[in-house]
Homo-oligomer: A and B are copies of this chain.
């Protein structure tokens, strides 16, 4: 015999959610992307690599080969050792010396950030983030409701390391500092060599873990490629790599170079998150790399993206009015534009879409609360053909010209 239950409410009561979810914010960036992805809009807003440059045919062959020959391809399984060996070789080309025992495979670079945050950050702890920062890291730390210590960034040399030191000298105990060493998203800047070395020293001197997120590090449009901070420090730098920009995002495959002693803990955290990354994808990417396709593919990517970047920079020089400044990225996918101070990029976006059918992301979307970035915008150059870049910048220049001139 079962006992009676309490009387039902007419309407079911609302489920109680975890406290932090009440302060949760949808990504402004993602909302904007939804708005500007309407047909007929020429968009520099997204952060997408060029799908016409994906190694589709070679990867399709790699998948077919693996499925035809490897009984473990669709099964659960441990991390695929041959892929780790490939990553060790890739890292050597990037100037980083590491062992397979330090390679940790993740479901994209984003999962690496999530797993590391779980490892390092306590509820209400401190984190060092740039004032203008990749929105994905803000989403990762949000559930911990951390105290964010904002650090400014020089548009020519990268994060202001002395600001980091000031916080540390002032007694701050951040769980980590997050950086993008090359082709910062959204700023487009790469860290100077001096700052790389300085950060490597600071990390050890202050026992400060650094999350070094390097999705664009294997791209280089000017032949110049400095090793990441991890090349100068293997005790405190957690290097995060990704196949999303050098092969394709839908692989959802990334990696972490971390101190070997921490891999068991990282494994437990990752298992809780998604058990493991796809055995099939791990094998297919390894087969693609076995085929020796990557160097030629990277060369083609670099040539194409350099051309798109240069086309956009040249068009900006022609079409943007005086008083507008921008970064010249050595790699990556983004140019950061600073408009005259009185220009509001959010209002500009509305006019640009309405009158000229062209879109971008206002820089404020990447700003920490309290950071003023109203007169900035991010332009993407990787996902448009040259004709669209030329036409779109001309149209955008008209809108900026009117508003900037009217200031």
Using known A-B contacts A110-B272, A165-B3, A250-B73, determine if residue A207 contacts B68 with beta carbons closer than 8 Å: no
Check A206/B273 contact, CB under 8 A, given A18-B120, A18-B122, A75-B249.
no
Of the 9-residue stretches A274-282, A348-356, A390-398, A399-407, which lies at the interface with chain B?
A274-282
Q: In this assembly, does A147 line the interface, its C-beta being within 8 Å of a C-beta of chain B?
A: no
User: Nearest chain-B residue to A121 (Cβ)?
Assistant: B18
- CB of B140 within 8 A of CB of A24, answer no
Nearest CB in chain B: distance from A152 CB, A: 16
B13 touches A207 (CB 8 A): yes
A21 to chain B, nearest CB (A): 6
A385 CB, min distance to chain B CBs, angstroms: 14
Q: With contacts A3-B165, A60-B67, A122-B18 known, is A54 near B27, CB below 8 A?
A: no
- Cβ–Cβ < 8 Å partners of A25 in chain B: 268
Tell whether, in the assembled complex, residue B250 and residue A279 are in contact, meaning their CB atoms are under 8 Å apart: yes
Q: With A204-B8, A274-B110 in contact, do A265 and B139 touch (Cβ < 8 Å)?
A: no
- State the Cβ distance, A13 to closest chain B Cβ, in Å: 5
Residue contact A275 to B110, C-beta cutoff 8 Å: yes
Which residues of B are found within 8 Å of A220, using beta-carbon distances? none
Which residue of B has the minimal Cβ distance to A176? B15
Chain B residues with CB under 8 Å of A272's CB are 110, 114, 136, 139-140, 142-143
- Please count how many residues in chain A sit with their CB below 8 Å of the partner chain's CB atoms: 94
Residue of A8, A72, A107 most packed against chain B (CB within 10 A) = A107
A220-257 CB contacts (< 8 Å) to partner B: 235-236, 248-252
A201 within 8 A of B: yes
- Contact: B75 with A250, CB < 8 Å? yes
Option from B8, B251, B275 in Cβ contact (under 8 Å) with A108: B275
Contact of A56 among B67, B142, B262, B279 (CB under 8 A): B67
Counting CB contacts under 8 A, is A307 at the interface? no
30 sample A-B contacts, Cβ–Cβ < 8 Å, listed by A number: A5-B206, A12-B204, A12-B207, A12-B236, A15-B207, A18-B118, A25-B268, A48-B76, A51-B72, A56-B67, A56-B73, A56-B74, A63-B64, A74-B248, A74-B250, A76-B249, A77-B250, A107-B252, A108-B275, A110-B274, A111-B273, A111-B274, A114-B273, A136-B271, A136-B275, A251-B278, A252-B275, A252-B277, A273-B273, A273-B274
Beyond A2-B198, A5-B206, A18-B119, 8 additional contacts (C-beta under 8 Å) are A9-B204, A15-B209, A15-B235, A16-B207, A139-B268, A250-B279, A250-B281, A278-B281
